Amino acid sequence: SQQGEEDPQALSIQEGENATMNCSYKTSINNLQWYRQNSGRGLVHLILIRSNEREKHSGRLRVTLDTSKKSSSLLITASRAADTASYFCATSPAGKLIFGQGTELSVKP
Amino acid sequence: DTEVTQTPKHLVMGMTNKKSLKCEQHMGHRAMYWYKQKAKKPPELMFVYSYEKLSINESVPSRFSPECPNSSLLNLHLHALQPEDSALYLCASSQGVQGSGANVLTFGAGSRLTVL
């Protein structure tokens, strides 16, 4: 079953601009994670935010969590061409890591 | 070693063939996972092993048969597959097991399977 919905499905920006991706989920969570996937490759864990946290930073990444709205956002600042990838949020209902539909980000040099 | 290694990277098989996908990790992780991913879609969970025992099977058809010979290895045996089974198969591992809290997964690069 699908736990997370993400929008936009695709996002195209210029290098140096910021990229914002949103994720909504259905059930209550203990934490939410974000992963990146370069084309046809494995996923790489980016950041985990716990349900009692509202915001978390890691380098150029900023993640927010609003449990009242069951939503999270991932902001990538000062984007680079190397940030081109698909980004997935993931939650753990019943201990299984389930991924949202993903946002395909394209950063043009 | 902080990697999950999957072999082969690419596999082409006929519907009557028997083949296996292999996955290895040496991080001491106690849980290992198989995911299936179709193009432009998110990974879908297939199986979870915790402490070398199958703990989750997401109603996967029996033509997919997982095996965990030891804590470092995970196999996926394939038999009588259908063309719609063509996909990227991803192996992952985590330090924690199901229900133990925040499980951050380390993924392999995947095995791209084509069924003719």
DSSP string, B18-58: EEEEEEEE-S--SEEEEEEE-TTS--EEEEEEETTEEEEE-
Closest Cβ opposite residue A33 in set B58, B104, B109: B104
Residue B100: the pLDDT is 56
Contact status of B98 with chain A (Cβ, < 8 Å): yes
Closest residue of chain B to A85, computed from CA coordinates: B40
Per-position pLDDT tens, chain A of length 109? 456 688 899 999 999 999 999 999 998 888 999 999 999 889 999 999 999 999 999 999 999 999 999 999 999 999 999 999 999 999 987 778 899 999 999 999 9
Residue type, A23: C
The pLDDT, as a whole number, for residue A1 is 43
pLDDT averaged over chain A? 93
pLDDT in tens, chain B (116 residues): 679 999 999 999 999 999 999 999 999 999 999 999 999 999 999 999 999 999 999 999 999 999 999 999 999 999 999 999 999 999 999 988 765 556 899 999 999 999 99
CB B42 within 8 A of CB A97: no
Chain A residues lying within 8 Å of B101, measured CB to CB: 30
